[in-house]
Structure 1
Amino acid sequence: MKLARLAGPTPVRDKILAIFPGALGDFICFLPTLDKLTRDGEIDLFTRTEYGDLLPASVRMRSLECYEISRLFVSGVEEEEKLKRFFAPYSRVYSWMGSGQPDFVRNLTLLSNGKLKVFPFRPSVSRIHITDYFLSCLGAGSSDEITPHIPIRADALAWSGRLWQQSDLERKSVLVFSPGSGAREKNWPPDFYATVAEWWEKKSAGKNLAVLGPVEEERDKISGRGDRVLALRGLELGRVAAVISRCDLYLGNDSGVTHLAAAIGAKTVALFGPTDSVQWAPRGKRVTVITRNVECSPCLSPVMKSCLHHKCLTALSPDYVIGRLEELLG
């Protein structure tokens, strides 16, 4: 007679808290580190709420703008019962916030019973890729093969399908570009993007989509091109990802949206001027970085903001970029 095997108790997984304050590009570069943490335990993540569209279902997200985080910057709160109850269940706490804030570090160390590891948000060695830096905080090795990956949500993909139908984009070659970034100094001139849009339309009878942020200059100069460019504003990140996933080519600056395009596996061209592609280039098998490598690039932020010529970007002429795109597209 065959005896049934009794199942043993389900192993209890560690409950881990991670605190990550970065902008979109930082967050996407952090995803491989987050993936490593999810293999070690159950993850609660304090971050920006708009990133919820990009997180795996296994990660519970909480907003950074909450009582539990804001109180950590105040002296002498380690005895607050509400905070003690909140942090008590976590067996490990990792924070990329507050490394230079003594009150934050002291409070969180005491509230986590010494189970805290806090890291500088930026590496002390400048020319290390930011993805590798975040992984190194966990003692993990680096590799160009370690790339962020973001799946497309089914509801966002369905929405983008309806957009394609309504906008007569089906069976058309589609170029998506995002002309903004977190710093105006990193942006390729809007008129240059408009020239590429004209080339794309003539080359393949294709269509152009622009994913626009809050920078008014880009809105005026690019969306003002009439029927040549369909401008999409104010989309949640899940829908941005779905739109880009349907395109034939994505073109953008050193920006969070460009990292998003790479992470969903789109054919991505990233334009780099004053920032360091060694540290910040999006990773992926379908990513091409275009830069002129002028003698003064990369430069530090104060220099970047006061630069009078911006030749690292203006030397990336539309003709030069179009030539590279033609090579890429064969």
Structure 2
Amino acid sequence: MVLIWHEGALGDLLISRLALGALREKHPHEEIVLFARSEARYLLLKAGLVDQAYPTSLAVAQRFKNVARLYLFAQRPEAFSFLNPLAQTMVSVSTRPLRPQHLALQELEALGFWPSRLALFLQENKAMGRKVILHPGSGGRFKCAPPSAWRTLGALLKKEGFQISFLLGPAEKDLLKEFASEETILSEDLEGAVEQLNKAPFFIGHDSGLSHLAAALGLYTFCLFGPTAWWHWAPFGYTVAMVKRCQCLEKGLDPHHCPQPCLSEIRAEELARIFLDLSTTARWNHHLPKASGYNPGFVDNWGSVRKKAVEPQEAVVAAEEPRDSGKSGVPELGIQVVEVGEEHFPKG
């Protein structure tokens, strides 16, 4: 039996689906039990990445004493020494970026095992048509474009024949008044959000857990980045990261305290143009490969999955952009990058 303990929130847990897929392949005959703080654990169970799933409860975990191995995913693994008695061997995987690469790839390297295929999707998205879900919120409002930009974006896409719905989570109830005249859905829980996302082939959002959820469910996901590092955190799958370069990020400044937030002057017309250009081109493979089990993999014209040599981890400046991918994206994760707007400089 193998235990996995994951302390991350929604986006963090979904980023780790590649690592969980690798552990499924590495331990094919072992029962894998997941303890995760995020409700998304049930999606990983449903996808077959794990065999059992529970909240992060030590009382429940103690039922599984003396297992062969425990994998701990946490920002500060040293704070979880109380888990040591549960397993003969504990492997720690940091969920904090340690080098200029995507966190999902960093986690795979920490495991020392590169799977034959990457578990980019938890399901096949079968939604058809021209429905687009817009998510104008995020856990950190400093990462968000203003509601007016989102309303304009929705109006522009409607003119092009798309059906638009705005989706809000429980922490974004204050935005309801901003979209009172729009088709707006308030999802109180993860299950409700999944239900809504499964009705659409397209999603546009910020750097947020909901964007990671959309990408994991197989939606064509357009994600707006500014003061956070896309090269660490971008959702992956069929993904376009629309990146506004931000000097707050590149100079290591705290974007929370910038008087003029990075995305405050984003132009909805530019976002609409990018969406219209890329959502209707042959860049997307509209037919996921048919494969049994949890791992449909990722094989299309972004490039096939390749094995990669495992390199030792080393501490680096978190905001350093990776030299190998530069502005193009991370092809092995299905991430394409498009720069938007003018570079943001801190004010005040």
Structure-1-length-normalised TM-score: 0.74
Give 1:67 deviation, angstroms: 2.6
**Structure 1: gaps of 5 or more residues:** 1-14, 70-82, 162-170
Q: Deviations over 1:72-94 (max 9, x none)?
A: xxxxxxxxxxx4x6312x11111
Q: What is the Cα deviation at residue 216 of structure 1?
A: 3.2
Counterparts of 1:1-330 in structure 2, within 5 Å, are 15-39=1-25, 40=27, 41-48=30-37, 50-55=39-44, 56-57=47-48, 58-67=50-59, 83=62, 86-88=64-66, 90-97=67-74, 99-101=77-79, 104-105=80-81, 107-113=82-88, 115-125=89-99, 127-141=100-114, 146=118, 148-151=120-123, 173-204=130-161, 206-213=162-169, 214-222=171-179, 224-225=180-181, 228-237=182-191, 239-284=192-237, 286-298=238-250, 303-310=254-261, 312-330=262-280
Offset, 1:315 = 3.7
Q: CA deviation at 1:49?
A: 5.5
Matched-pair contact (CA < 8 Å) for 1:152–1:241: no
Number of matched pairs: 272
**How many Å apart are 1:18 and its aligned residue?**
0.6
Percent identity of equivalent pairs: 25
- 1:47, CA displacement in angstroms? 0.3
Question: How far is 1:202 from its partner?
Answer: 2.3
Distance 1:117 1:248 in 2: 38
**Quick check: which has more Rg, 1 or 2?**
1
Aligned partner of 1:116: which letter?
A: M
2:39 is paired with a residue whose SS is helix
Name the CA distance, whole Å, in 2 between partners of 1:230 and 1:188. Answer: 17
Q: CA RMSD in A?
A: 2.7
Structure 1 runs (4+) greater than 4 angstroms displaced: none
| Higher share of residues assigned helix | 1
CA–CA separation in structure 2 for the residues paired with 1:132 and 1:291 = 20
In the alignment, the residues of structure 1 paired with residue 85 and residue 14 of structure 2 have an alpha-carbon distance, to the nearest angstrom, of 30
CA-to-aligned-CA distance 1:7-58 (integer Å, 9 cap, x gap): xxxxxxxx10010011111111101111121220211111025114311344
> Structure 1's 242 and 290: CA in aligned 2 closer, same or farther, altered over 3 A?
same
Unaligned residue ranges in structure 2 (runs of 5+) = 281-348
> Any idea what SS the aligned residue of 1:188 has?
coil
Partners of 1:273 and 1:298 within 8 A in 2: no
Shift of 1:108: 2.9
C-alpha deviation, 1:235, in angstroms: 4.1
Shift of 1:324: 1.5
Residues 197 and 208, structure 1, Cα contact 8 Å, conserved in 2: yes
CA deviations over 1:83-140 (Å, ceiling 9, x no partner): 4x6312x111111235232xx32x4334424x11223331322x22010111112113
In structure 2, relative to structure 1, the CA distance for the partners of 1:118 and 1:305 (3 Å cut) is same
TM-score, normalising length from structure 2?
Answer: 0.70
